[in-house]
Amino acid sequence: MSLIITDDCINCDVCEPECPNAAISQGEEIYVIDPNLCTQCVGHYDEPQCQQVCPVDCIPLDGAHPETEEQLMDKYRKITGKA
Count up the domains in the chain and report the number: 1
- What is the CATH number for 40? 3.30.70.20
Task: Judge whether 61 lies within some domain.
Answer: yes
**Cβ contacts of 63-70, under 8 Å, gap ≥ 24:** 63/1, 64/4, 64/35, 65/1, 65/2, 65/35, 66/1, 67/1, 67/2, 69/42
What residues form DSSP beta bridges with 32? Answer: 25
Rg (CA), the chain: 12
In a domain, 7, yes or no: no
Position 6 in a domain:
no
What range defines the domain where residue 67 resides?
Answer: 16-80
Q: Residue 82: pLDDT band by 50, 70, 90 thresholds?
A: confident
Query: Sorting pLDDT into bands at 50, 70 and 90, what band is 60?
Result: very high
Q: Is the pLDDT confidence value at 59 over 80?
A: yes
pLDDT tens profile 15-58: 999 999 999 999 999 999 999 999 999 999 999 999 999 999 99
